[in-house]
Structure 1
Amino acid sequence: MPVSAADPHRLLTLRAPGRLHLGFLDPAGTLGRRFGSLGLVIDGLATEVALGAASTDDIAVVDPAAQAEVERAARFLHLLREHTGLRTPLRLQLTRVLPPHAGFGSGTQLALAIGRVFAHWHGLAIGSATLAHWLARGLRSGIGIAGFDQGGLLLDGGPGPDGLPAPLLSRIAFPAAWRVIVVQDDRHRGLSGPQEKQAIATLPPLPQALSADICHQVLMRVLPGAASGEFALFAAGINRVQQLLGEHFAPAQGGAYTSAAVGRVVQAVERTQGAAIGQSSWGPTGFAILPSQASADAAVQALRSARALEPGLALSIVAGLNRGALLSEHACEPH
């Protein structure tokens, strides 16, 4: 039966999927608008939160890895209260979090997950772009925001001068049969926050000709390849985009890949399977996209047989996810 906002046993839960950032279009803003991002929402890695009534504000963790996110979660709640003026005590539970600074969009997904359950709890119809703006997310990429709402393969046009998140230009359902080998390296962390901003500022501008090449690859290979299920076309486009951006960002991250070990793994998959490969954002997470579960299984088996996986690396095979976050409302058991 439905539960009301006044019910002390009311409980909201939300699962927000992770995403891979597949590259910027124009980080230098050669036409006046910077960044523009290509990204893919994936299944299997997610942030999960729960929200319920409390006598005093409380943030609890289930997954020990979430302990490191408590301070950030408290800051998000504070900002939501400042913007709405709502001070009702709440119990926020961090059930599961995405690995931080690894290329999955952990900060944005945590912010939007908390923002969405907070808004829904209070009966507020606040869009994800507004929540992201309130919580200082989406300053460079809008794909995590659009992915939170609807999933899929996404292209945004870069943030505007008003400081609002980037507009969504394209959303394509990722082919159901295609798979992504995700390669994680817990020995490294990608750049974020002030370090990321400083790294972007100190790099020489990406030449307009290279940005034009990236845009051409995205518009005439990546997007049509995904839309029509032409994997070879898609892979050729992704690989060219990643090559250009890897070379551009190499001085800031110590090479085309933040983790050289991750780079060796995905490059091995590309050589043997013709995969679409690269690094998500600043890494260290790498990816190898393949046209089927069978080809992904074969690639992983080949890597293991060749003993190509160094200690500290972890592999998983996931599908693209063509939906956004899932919010559930139900009654919890009284204590």
Structure 2
Amino acid sequence: MQIHSGSLAPPSAVTVDAPARLHLGFLDPNGSLGRAFGSVGLTIDERGTRITMRLADALRVDGTRSDAERARVEGYVEALCAAWSGPPVSIDVQRAPRAHTGLGSGTQLALAIGTAYARLAGRSSGSAEIARILGRGARSGIGMLGFDHGGFLVDGGPAHPGEGSGHFHTDVPPLLFRQPFPDAWRILLVDDTTREGLHGDAEKRGLASLAPFPQALAAHLCHLVLLRILPGIAESDFDAFADGITEMQQTIGEYFAPVQGGVFSSPTVAATLEAVAARQTAGIGQTSWGPTGFAFVRNAEEAVRALAAAQDASRGKPGIVCSIVTGRNRGASLRAVDLQQCGIDAQ
């Protein structure tokens, strides 16, 4: 979703619904050809973020899950206010996925807040400007591109990685490929709620500790994406897609294994997904640093089988949550209301 250019009459309240995303892997973490990372991802129809923002006399934040999330929201608003000299607002976080689970919660929350704030401030700023202000999307563009477009996406990575591990150019990676995800296909999600994926300083240290990614493996990943995964999506060839995703995930997971404890960050999620793949054709892997894992299956009937297999394999394991979702082929949505014209107090 993009805010179109031109003057915008500020409403009194704005609600933004932003989709969650699966990060399916990097193309070249080492940037052997000058473009580090490059990402493959998909937006999904569940686990999204919804916020409502209103004009107010002073900043107020409600509905956050934790003090850390509240501080993050306040920091986003302060940065936007400093950049645009905008009005004070109140924010109600009505829905957000658990943080650090691989669903892109931080980027979606930031973009939802930035989009709502831009609308209330009467600005035509788009997602790329918001991402730069709030420091999102410098490594992977899947979150921002998913927010704007939805669907199955590939980005080209940042053009100029910064000097030193963990520092990156602030330009948002370009969109290289966007295709609707086939309606019939389904995704099993397996979350280990006892764990969080790497983030913050631990993520930076982990990335800095890894050996350079071999150029031959980067070439292999690009080959898989270009000639197996993308044709599979374009032609609804599930077997080609699932095989490509599983091989890509295994390759990139082995590279990150030293800092996340294995190809999957949760051994229980790994065992659960392997049990599913042993019983039916499925494309399995982990989104971002996990702990959420996924299994792509070809239709709703196969999804029922996959869910039953996952529940059976994880029975007695604490904290494991399994669910079925579909792909989402649209980006975020915005609904603006002038409460004062409706005779409602905007405060």
The Cα offsets for residues 235-278 of structure 1, whole Å up to 9 and x where unpaired, read as 11101100101111100001111000001111111111110000
The Cα offsets for residues 117-170 of structure 1, whole Å up to 9 and x where unpaired, read as 001112211110111011000121000000000100100010122521101100
Q: Which residue of 2 aligns with 1:111?
A: 110
Deviates most, 32-41 or 160-169:
160-169
Contact 1:66 1:95 in 2 (8 A): no
State the TM-score, normalizing by the size of structure 1: 0.94
| CA distance in 2 between partners of 1:111 and 1:198 (Å) | 24
1:231 aligns with 2:230: no
**TM superposition shift of 1:302:** 2.9
Contact 2:137 2:143 in 1 (8 A): yes
**TM superposition shift of 1:4:** 6.0
**TM superposition shift of 1:309:** 6.0
1:92 aligns with 2:94: no
Q: Structure 1: which amino acid aligns with 2:75?
A: R
Q: Structure 2: which amino acid aligns with 1:96?
A: R
Contact 2:189 2:293 in 1 (8 A): yes
The Cα offsets for residues 60-108 of structure 1, whole Å up to 9 and x where unpaired, read as 11xx62554110000000110111122x221111111121111011110
**What is the aligned-residue RMSD (CA, Å)?**
1.6
Equivalent position to 1:27, from 26, 29, 34: 29
The Cα offsets for residues 169-197 of structure 1, whole Å up to 9 and x where unpaired, read as 00010001100001111111111122212
**TM superposition shift of 1:318:** 0.3
Deviates most, 14-23 or 196-205:
196-205
Q: Which residue of 1 aligns with 2:15?
A: 13
Alignment of 1:64-143 (within 5 A): 65=65, 68-86=68-86, 88-143=87-142
Distance of aligned partners of 1:209 and 1:309 in 2 relative to their CA distance in 1, 3 Å threshold: farther
Q: Which residue of 2 aligns with 1:183?
A: 190
Alignment of 1:40-55 (within 5 A): 40-55=42-57
1:147 aligns with 2:149: no
Q: Which residue of 1 aligns with 2:180?
A: 173
Q: Which residue of 1 aligns with 2:163?
A: none
1:65 aligned counterpart, secondary structure = coil
1:158 aligned counterpart, secondary structure = coil
Unaligned runs of 5+ in 2: 1-7, 161-168
1:92 aligned counterpart, secondary structure = strand
Percent identity between the aligned chains?
Answer: 45
| CA distance in 1 between partners of 2:24 and 2:209 (Å) | 22
| CA distance in 1 between partners of 2:267 and 2:47 (Å) | 23
Q: Which residue of 1 aligns with 2:206?
A: 199
Q: Structure 1: which amino acid aligns with 2:18?
A: A
Equivalent position to 2:261, from 240, 254, 264: 254
State the TM-score, normalizing by the size of structure 2: 0.91
**TM superposition shift of 1:288:** 0.3
